[in-house]
A and B are shown apart, each in its own frame.
Chain A
Amino acid sequence: MRLEAELRAKRDAGRKLLVPYVTGGLGDRWVDVVAALAAAGADAIEVGIPFSDPVMDGPTIQEASQAALEGGVTPQGVVGALADSDAGVPLVVMTYYNPVLHAGHERFAAALAAAGVDGAIVPDLPVDELDGWGDAADAQGVETVLLAAPTTTDGRLAEICARSKGFIYGVSLLGVTGERRALSDMALTMGKRLKEATDLPALLGVGVSTPEQAVEAAAAADGVIVGSALVRRLLDGGGPEEAGAFVATLRAALDRG
């Protein structure tokens, strides 16, 4: 339970949590990017396993996934590379459900555990379909983070919070991943609902794009997840240095509050 324990401890110490997302297999130096994010102040790192049909992702992460797949990356390749990395912060993979199902729940969970991956986010596996994967992940000590959306009813939110592990991922708007000019009003409402519903670390993600937006969202919750804004910098040719520098600006803004 390292993911939840570490995030909770930092949160309780008064720190706003920062979880950047990077697409696994994007470019030759993506493992160095992961290390750079950790060094720049990430509290955990979300690593996307590229999938052919990423329905929760907007153009930026679609492009990154496609580029990584064309580069020949596989789920095993991403997980294997994480085993050799030494980021020093908890790692969470983000994967669509089909690659998990295809590998087999037990096998996939065991591979994550063996690679030292702490958690998993499966955006097309809502709480009512969680059982098979959830049991396999639990057995291996892999924490499955569930998502809550602005459309989630209060009844479902309670169930999601009860079954989420590691943290709870609040979707900050109606829509798929991608940068937005401003934070949605829904982000603040989402943060408030999560804080009322659970004591799990509550993070807001999807659309959080700038240090200002991160600060605004983090004020309503325990922290933020930032994906497309980082991935776009990598697609534009940035490497570990640029990625680390961007995350450092997010970290500094969150620490200033």
Chain B
Amino acid sequence: MSLARGAGARLEGTGPEPEGLGRFGSFGGRFIPETLVAALEELEREFRAAWGDASFRDELAALLTTYAGRPTPVTECHRLSERLGVRLLLKREDLTHTGSHKINNVLGQALLTQRMGKTRVIAETGAGQHGVATATACALFGLDCTVFMGAVDVERQALNVFRMRLLGAEVVPVHSGSATLKDAINETLRDWVATVEDTHYCVGSVVGPHPFPWIVREFQRVVGDEAREQCREILGGADPDVVVACVGGGSNAMGTFAGFTETGARLVGVEAGGLGLDSGKHGASVARGVPGVLHGARSLYLQDEEGQIKEAHSISAGLDYPGVGPEHAYFAEMGRAEYHNATDDEALEAIRLLSQTEGIIPALEPAHALAWLSAVAGSGVPSGSTVLVTLSGRGDKDAAQVARHFGEGDLE
């Protein structure tokens, strides 16, 4: 099989369904107001039918090919590999239309929205990449679009706010709570409770009530399925020793892992270390979270002694979430994947490193994955290992923020 550009995206993989009412082990579930149950049941029925239907897969594959630019390449990083002493391959989700892996999921959910006959789409966004992807798909399909975004994120991702508005979406700043991704999800759920009859909630990561963690993983598995075949071409039939991705809610990581769960690869998710785990200001929900229920799913969340959800902190808006998708909680519990973290400063350094060794400017989120690798290459990851890192998005959206941190002043 060839995954050269022009050959077109292929959607062949199917992963395990969650058990019972959306369970991954003891995680997952459907803990939401009664008002939403009927819509989630409809969505599950529609997705199951669509995903088993070759014509739906063909339609989505065609969109991913001709509109989103799939398959994305795997790039071997010669100079950085030499620097780190490992053989580094990057899965280039930064090269998709709209600039991150988020488009894969959104195009799938837009098709589902159409099948359900709904005319309006709502979404939460952190970094704005999921919001931009959703606004893009809604423009393409002629759907009304409203995106909820924490007021703090509206500030630090101004470029994406402009892009969403230009694409015709309404962007609603959310001021409640910590005014970041968690609060944007709360507000999107509140809108949905009122509008569920004609509105689809396009959840942007492998979080939320069943069936979202399953649907989003299946729509993102194209990342891992492509990467596995591409790695085998490059590595003479072998799988990489280590597969690494950053984890906010966990969709680029779960999509990547899905392609490698049957291989012997070590799976590593990298969470936001923020100002360091002991500072209490981080987004390391697997490392420091405890089981709880938020946004519809039982998973690992940062919370206090009373079960109040704590605010996360990350320089990267896309990782600034105090929880993780339930399948990650399950993978962590089972030991099928390991979860580490990288701090704000380490991520900033990794941006400079990749930019200057490979000419690729990554987004802040996947910079965390690279930062972890660069910290442990030669120790935690032995020299000579082959490593695949998913580069989930490109750095344009972060330019102004990163410039400020590098002391380059205000770009505007």
Contact = CB atoms under 8 A, between A and B. Distances in A.
Interface stretch (B11-19, B30-38, B399-407): B30-38
A149 B34 contact: yes
A147 B298 CA distance: 21
B34 A147 contact: yes
Contacts of A52: 177, 308-309
Most central of B182, B197, B308 by chain A CB within 10 Å: B308
Interface string A57-93: 1100010001001000011100000000000000000
A155 to B, nearest CB: 11
A176 B194 contact: yes
A174 B309 CA distance: 26
Contacts of A57: 190
Interface string A99-113: 111110000000000
Contacts of A62: 176
Given A129-B30, A176-B193, A75 B306 contact: yes
Interface stretch (A8-16, A120-128, A134-142): A120-128
A151 B307 contact: no
A30 interface: no
Interface residues of B, number: 38
A149 B194 CA distance: 11
Contact-residue size bin, chain A (C-beta under 8 Å from the other chain): 35 or more
A126 B37 contact: yes
A122 to B, nearest CB: 9
B376 to A, nearest CB: 34
A249 interface: no
B21 A174 contact: no
A66 B349 CA distance: 37
B195 interface: yes
A182 interface: no
A56 B186 CA distance: 9
Contacts of A246: none
Contacts of B183: 53
A53 B301 CA distance: 13
Most central of A52, A156, A175 by chain B CB within 10 Å: A52
A129 B34 contact: no
List the 8 closest pairs (A to B, CB-CB), nearest first: A102-B307, A175-B194, A149-B35, A99-B307, A52-B308, A151-B38, A149-B34, A52-B309
